[in-house]
Amino acid sequence: MLTTLTKFQSRRWFVQEISRLFAQVCVRHEFIGSLLLGLKSNLAAQRKTTGIMNVSTSCALCAKPRISKKKELSEKKLTRHFVDHRNVKLVAGAGGKGACTFHSEPRKEWGGPDGGNGGDGGNIIIKVDLQVKSLAQVAPFYKGDNGDSGGSKNCYGRNASTTYIAVPVGTVVKELGKTVSDLSQHNQEYVAVFGGAGGKGNRFFLSNENRAPMTATLGERGQERVLQLELRTMAHAGLVGFPNAGKSSLLRAISNARPAVAAYPFTTLNPHVGIVNYRDHEQVAVADIPGIICGAHLNRGLGISFLRHIERCRFLLFVLDLSSPEPWTQLQQLRYELDQYEPGLTHRPHAIVANKMDLPGARGNLEALRGHVAHRVIPVSALTGQNTEELILHLRELYDGYLQTHGQGSGQDMPTRW
């Protein structure tokens, strides 16, 4: 009877404790609920008075999406990303060393040498990629991977993987001022440096005279070179003229390219390439070369850093500003600068484009210009689009003439299609 009473009292005490804990939890939850309710009412009153919306920054579903518009880079900022020459030091990978080991096996006391050869070092290859438009991504130093060392049981070391350097179409590789490779086609490769050969293991030196060679050689060092990479724009036609002659506006008028246009000289600081499309699906690439000044062949102004882009153009379009007096003097100075940079450059097929015909005085200068030159003069206005059709048709005539002269399939320094 006493035992039964004790069990009953203990159960009664346990139920009382559970009830007390439950009451404490309920009171605490009521306090927290009232606190949250008061905070919510205060925030609602503050929103009504101040007009501030509640924005959650911790929850991605509750927060407002922030749409950031990507600003277009200006012409000056684009020059930071456009690089047309690089000095690169290349060091190929070294070969792995050979192993000097002997075969060990129970009850085979004279197992003989079993050291394997090391793997070859990795080469460094310069490869053309159409998606790359500048040399800005090319690092100043490249080091190839080393080959793995040989192992026992006649295990050869693994050859190192090849390191590729992606460059744009039209990259010229030079060493000590001499051209060693001209990369003008997509996926064209040039092995710049070769990796070192792997070392020999002692198994290689096994012979009838020496049954237990202890000799193993180290891998050879990789080749080292310092190369200069230069980018020359690949285009069929090049717009050549003095600063503020309207070359960028003319390129915008005849193609879908959108170079920067402004009322001050040297607006274009890097070459732009536009594509002129024809009804027969033929495409002609036209390059807007930055402005040339007197003494450009002496590295004045933008200097020879952009004169080399004209070398790749198969025919030239001399853009003259007809609003200036005596526009034929501009043509004479442009021809002089090109001949001083590379003799015979002006003998390529070319046309004379008389721009800014919408300005006063241009008509009189046009007649005077035609009296001083023997070549065809095409008057246009890049601002209004006047007579641009004649320029586009003449551009196609120059292109077809170039194909007939060099052949459609010869591929001699032909610009690739965009």
Model confidence pLDDT, tens digit, residues 98-131: 999 998 888 777 788 999 999 999 999 999 998 8
Q: Judge whether 128 and 76 are in contact, CB under 8 Å.
A: no
Model confidence pLDDT, tens digit, residues 304-321: 556 677 777 888 888 888
Bridge partners (DSSP) listed for residue 191: 125
Q: How confident is the model at residue 87 (pLDDT cuts 50, 70, 90)?
A: very high
Residues 6+ apart with CB under 8 A from 132: 166, 167, 168
Q: Judge whether 150 and 97 are in contact, CB under 8 Å.
A: yes
Rounded to an integer, the average pLDDT of 397-404 is 84
- Residue 198 parent element (H or E): none
Q: Would the pLDDT of 89 be above 90? A: yes
> H helices of 51-153, where?
75-81
Amino acid at 103: H
Model confidence pLDDT, tens digit, residues 2-40: 344 444 455 566 656 766 766 665 555 555 556 555 655
CB burial of residue 155 (10 Å; 0-12, 13-18, 19+): middle
Q: Rounded to an integer, what distance in angstroms lies between the CA atom of residue 158 and that of residue 156?
A: 7
